[in-house]
Structure 1
């Protein structure tokens, strides 16, 4: 069997055009195919043409022939080709469903970010890598301030859209190797890898500023590792404690564990670029 790409030039009356309209393989018997792509394959006088489909989407055109023996194609061979195509389509669909289930198991359905379980798995992997390389990482926790007010005033759909916008902003703002997740409700987490204290402050400030530019107030708490010989397992508890301090201090600010004072988020000036 040979396969032709689906973007070949075709006509409803030629072999491929007819195969696209048919539900199974079609048998043709002619010295020279009408379709130029088929003619380039130089099939013998008798050949089968079938469309390979997945959920009504054509993935390719299959051509079956006997270029060496030039023997006629019997009905059993035609049925077998149809069986192979159906089996391949079923296998492809099962693979697609499996990948979909695996994606849902690792990602938050609303925002498409990692969920908490996947985030904690990535944190464990990062700990091993950071220990091996002697690098520093940080955990930043962000809460959307007053999300419940949005839900009550404008409905949960508006609240969900707000969370999606925050998720997009976080993913587009951070570096590709930083890890972003939605933990639950209004809570997001960022694991900043290969970083410094100054870079963590800059990231927190940028996220808070971008949030205000979107009309969203964020509170943040963060902790760096390694620091004071602490285990990485304390990152969450330290960052959560810092986040609570940020909220108690009036929200719209970041508290980084070990810093003496919180960092207030300020909206961008009208003429100040955010990049």
Structure 2
């Protein structure tokens, strides 16, 4: 897998950062989870997606190297950022996918901008997650706003998170992109917890069952069934299947791992194969 081209585009009033991994296949735009960044999918690329698609990933507003406005974290604002990126890249329509929050944003894009979407890939995203989702996300959210004495100290901290049940080197680039370096070698996560809370509040305002029922594009929903935190999956299979049934044309597939590590190791290999089969059928 080659190192991606890093670039910025002015879209919807902000400066948005994106990565273009190149390749001669059809374009696949992948949108990361709530507190993640554009490097979140490198486990999937290494597992086979890089050979099949021109993968483009994005730092959503408020994350990574993209601008971090004080306000503007609605789904509509996020969606318009992505449409501006597609316009900049002169991409009339693409395969669109996302993990968790990025999967919901993909659903939103499919509902309101269907002419720009060919098919949808939803990675552990559904209208209803686990009822204790907020509590289950606390180990991931707790890193935000903290300063760590070094990147190595930060890395050791995230390795101890309950959802990181194994480690592979493709994870390093994701965590490297997660932090900014401060004076004296200290590091701090780039995402502002206030912005993340605003994004969550705006997600909860949307009528997701309505959006699902009005989807016109075929979709693939990939569900991680292993425990994330609190000894339970973040997206229980019954909730994932409920979302799949609410869509006119959606396939469901369970994959190895939990909500986080599904993007690496055995889960990544399953996802890469399932996505390739679905999109290139």
TM, length-normalised to structure 2: 0.21
Bigger radius of gyration: 1
TM-score w.r.t. the length of structure 1 is 0.21
